[in-house]
Amino acid sequence: MYTHIQVYDGFGAQYQKIIQTYIYCKMNNMNYVYRPFTKIEHNYENDINYNEKLELLINLRENIENDYELKAKELDYGLIVCKFFEDNMEKCCKSEHMKFIKKCFWENKDRNFFKNNKINISIHIRRENSHDLGRAGNRITTPNTYYLNIINKIRSENKSKELLFHIYSQGNINQFIEFQSDDTIFHIDENVYDTFLGLVSADILVTSPSSLSYVAGLISDGKVYYKSFWHSPREDWIIYYK
């Protein structure tokens, strides 16, 4: 039996490792067992139900055999799992196993998350938070102008359509003044559950250099604008440099 490595970072990074390890095992005829969350960062409000809410979000515990007795071997993520996944990106993402991951994710949710008749565009802007402890590096330095350029590009390409932009980030609202517009809603410091659902549900997703929006892109059925960082994009993602 095999399972994903146990780490204690944020939800996005942990879910990414779970998905990719599951698919690696399935595509190599290995028996994957699921190991539930134990500790996840960014529980800012010390919610005692934090882990349970995120278990329900990914909805794998009830759909895959569990490794409650901790007998499974953890697979090396960097050298084995991630390398295999990124070397075989399209094959993995188009596999029946990714379809299973997505089916589990959606089977206990309403796909019509935004409940409007507009084209919803979710923009994830990675900014520093209290858990970074000054170690977030270049990921938090992408200027607002980068995201504004994409927003205006989408506007120009969809002039006849009704658009609604959703800014998902953390920090002080004054840091996002330039995004203010009648077609824009701010989701600043919202909980991880609703943030991730908003990212995955979007018709168009604009990622930041963050596992949270990266893994949202992997299971999204929408168009994805990809911000380059250390994980590879899918072949149909739009790599935006301006």
pLDDT in tens, 170-191: 888 888 999 999 999 999 999 9
Is the domain of 89 the same as that of 124? no
Tell me, what's the pLDDT at 128? 59
With a cut of 90, say whether residue 90 has pLDDT above it: yes
Tell me, what's the pLDDT at 77? 94
Summarize the confidence of residues 132-150 as an average pLDDT.
67
With a cut of 50, say whether residue 87 has pLDDT above it: yes
Is the domain of 93 the same as that of 156? no
> 73-98 burial string, b = 16+ CB within 10 Å, else e?
eebebeeebbebbeeebeebbeeebb
Given 39, 71, 106, which residue is the final one in a domain? 106
Q: Which residues contact 59 (CB under 8 A, 6 or more apart)?
A: 104, 105, 107, 108
**Chain centroid to CA 120: how far?**
16
With a cut of 70, say whether residue 10 has pLDDT above it: yes
Would residue 112 count as lying in a domain?
A: no
Is the domain of 76 the same as that of 147? no
Is the domain of 132 the same as that of 226? yes
Confidence band of 137 (pLDDT split at 50, 70, 90) = very low
Would residue 149 count as lying in a domain?
A: yes
Is the domain of 139 the same as that of 166? yes
With a cut of 70, say whether residue 132 has pLDDT above it: no
Would residue 111 count as lying in a domain?
A: no
With a cut of 90, say whether residue 157 has pLDDT above it: yes
Confidence band of 136 (pLDDT split at 50, 70, 90) = very low
Would residue 113 count as lying in a domain?
A: no
With a cut of 90, say whether residue 86 has pLDDT above it: yes
Domain that holds residue 222: 119-239
Is the domain of 98 the same as that of 126? no
Is the domain of 6 the same as that of 102? yes
With a cut of 50, say whether residue 40 has pLDDT above it: yes
Is the domain of 193 the same as that of 84? no
pTM of the model: 0.92
Q: Measured between alpha carbons, how far is residue 97 from residues 29, 31, 229 in Å?
A: 12, 13, 25
Tell me, what's the pLDDT at 41? 85
Q: Measured between alpha carbons, how far is residue 181 from residues 8, 140, 190 in Å?
A: 37, 23, 20
Is the alpha carbon torsion for 5, 8, 10, 11 positive or negative? positive
Number of domains in the chain: 2
Least confident of 11-25, 37-51, 128-142: 128-142
Is the domain of 217 the same as that of 183? yes
Would residue 201 count as lying in a domain?
A: yes
Tell me, what's the pLDDT at 241? 67
Would residue 192 count as lying in a domain?
A: yes
Summarize the confidence of residues 20-49 as an average pLDDT.
93
Tell me, what's the pLDDT at 34? 97
Which residue did the predictor score with more confidence, 35 or 139? 35
